[in-house]
Amino acid sequence: MTIATPDIARLAASPDEVLARLFTSMNVDGVYGRTGAYEDVVDGLGRYIGTLRPKGAEVFRFPPVVSRALIEKSGYLKSFPHLLGCVCALGADPKRVTDAVARYEAGGTWADSAEPSELVLAPAACYPIYPIAAKRGAISDTLLFDVASDCFRREPSKDIDRLQSFRMREFVAIGAPVEISVFRDQWMARAPEIAGDLGLNHSIDAASDPFFGREGQMVGRFQVANALKFEMLIPVRSPESATACMSFNCHKDHFGLTWGMNTVDGEPAHTACVAFGVDRLAVALFARHGVEVGGWPKAVRGKLGV
Ligand code: 5GP
Ligand code: ZN
């Protein structure tokens, strides 16, 4: 179900131009060094998103790694095992280390000797917040959080809008079903305001997450049928093909049941998150307004403070 249709507008910079001017190759698909000009816009987006922060939201910034146990318990392996990255290391065992390095120096590989650690790379910014919130006891008023982290998803691609390593900021709400559903819907209703502030054409569409396998496709259809996920789509690579730059997600009682989070009436808490794909928004801004920030509309520069 499409709620709004983008008016197709000219993009001022091609993907190749954005890539050449704002990123620098690190010889891995979807992993880039970023220029100062690009990071200034990322910082500007950070400030702008800060102005939207729900009143009373508590701020947490998480590292790019989270415990494997947390991601396992969250059900990630059932849903997105193909996207997950695990931190492996040689560790401190002298024999293992010496053998592995010797093998590498003889022209072989060292990595086979590395063992999975207790860490995985964060696939989204919001996972760590649920166990933190669960420790607070029964929820009377909706809990609100502003969280962010570098995220990793194993999706190598040459497209500038599909990175393996990217930044995500999220507003998360935890509470009673009605409040959570209202939270998600109110944020979706603000999408035109956000896109307008940034001078970006947008549409909102129902979406599903890229669940793994056949069974996963069914879960995806359930997600669409139950209107659990919507995305704000913005043209990035061409005026016709739009990219999801924000998502509006309702998880129902999934995290409430997983972490034993209840409302004061004893029912499992519901959760929702509104995710800003910070790198996709930055790339969308450069694609739409050009690679020179000096040439961007004054109003957009004002909103970002760039
Ligand atoms: P979701 O959890 O809804 O898949 O992701 C939240 C947001 O993160 C997306 O709306 C998008 O803006 C951003 N995101 C997801 N995957 C990628 C990716 O491969 N590259 C970049 N740059 N951003 C992504
Ligand atoms: Zn989330």
pLDDT tens digits, one per residue of 222-270: 999 999 999 999 999 988 889 999 999 999 999 999 999 999 999 999 9
Cα 274 to Cα 170: distance, rounded to the nearest angstrom: 5
Which of 9-13, 204-208, 263-267, 291-295 is the least confident region? 9-13
This model's pTM is above 0.85: yes
Average pLDDT over residues 153-162: 97
Both 61 and 116 in one domain: the answer is no
Under the banding of pLDDT at 50, 70 and 90, the label for residue 221 is very high
Both 244 and 96 in one domain: the answer is no
Both 242 and 290 in one domain: the answer is yes
**Which residues are CB-contacts of 134 (< 8 A; sequence separation ≥ 6)?**
259, 260, 261
| Beta-sheet pairing, 165-175 with 143-152 | antiparallel
Query: Of ligand 1's atoms, which has the minimum distance to the CA of residue 157?
Result: 19
Other CB atoms within 10 Å distance of the CB of residue 290 = 17
Which of 62-66, 128-132, 207-211 is the least confident region? 207-211
Both 43 and 77 in one domain: the answer is yes
Average pLDDT over residues 122-145: 98
The percent of residues in the chain predicted with pLDDT above 70, rounded, is 97
Task: Provide the pLDDT for residue 118.
Answer: 98
Both 115 and 264 in one domain: the answer is no
Out of 72, 101, 121, pick the residue that ends a domain: 121
Both 146 and 221 in one domain: the answer is yes
Both 219 and 112 in one domain: the answer is no
- Ligand 1 pocket, 100 CB below 6 A? no
Average pLDDT, the chain: 95
Cβ atoms of residues 272 and 255 within 8 Å: no
Both 208 and 173 in one domain: the answer is yes
Residues lining ligand 2 (ion), CB within 5 A? 124, 126, 170, 273
Task: Provide the pLDDT for residue 103.
Answer: 96
Both 265 and 168 in one domain: the answer is yes
Task: Provide the pLDDT for residue 10.
Answer: 84
pLDDT of 35-77, one tens digit each?
999 999 999 999 999 999 999 999 999 999 999 999 999 999 9
Both 145 and 275 in one domain: the answer is yes
Looking up residue 280, the CATH number of its domain turns out to be 3.30.930.10
Both 102 and 210 in one domain: the answer is no
Average pLDDT over residues 276-299: 98
Q: Beta-strand (E) ranges in 176-221?
A: 203-206
pLDDT at 9 over 80: no
Q: Is the dihedral of CA 109, 110, 111, 116 positive or negative?
A: positive
Task: Provide the pLDDT for residue 8.
Answer: 52
- Pocket probe for ligand 1: among 152, 161, 166, 279, the residue whose CB has the most ligand atoms within 8 Å is 166
Out of 98, 121, 144, pick the residue that ends a domain: 121
Query: Of ligand 1's atoms, which has the minimum distance to the CA of residue 281?
Result: 12
Range of the domain at 114: 88-121
Both 254 and 147 in one domain: the answer is yes
Task: Provide the pLDDT for residue 241.
Answer: 86
Domain count, the chain: 2
Average pLDDT over residues 149-172: 98
- Ligand 1 pocket, 277 CB below 6 A? yes
Task: Provide the pLDDT for residue 6.
Answer: 47
Task: Provide the pLDDT for residue 3.
Answer: 55
pLDDT at 1 over 70: no
Rounded to 5 degrees, φ, ψ at 202 are -150, 165
- Ligand 1 pocket, 96 CB below 6 A? no
Cα 189 to Cα 207: distance, rounded to the nearest angstrom: 16
- Ligand 1 pocket, 245 CB below 6 A? yes
Task: Provide the pLDDT for residue 240.
Answer: 84
How is residue 8 annotated by DSSP? P
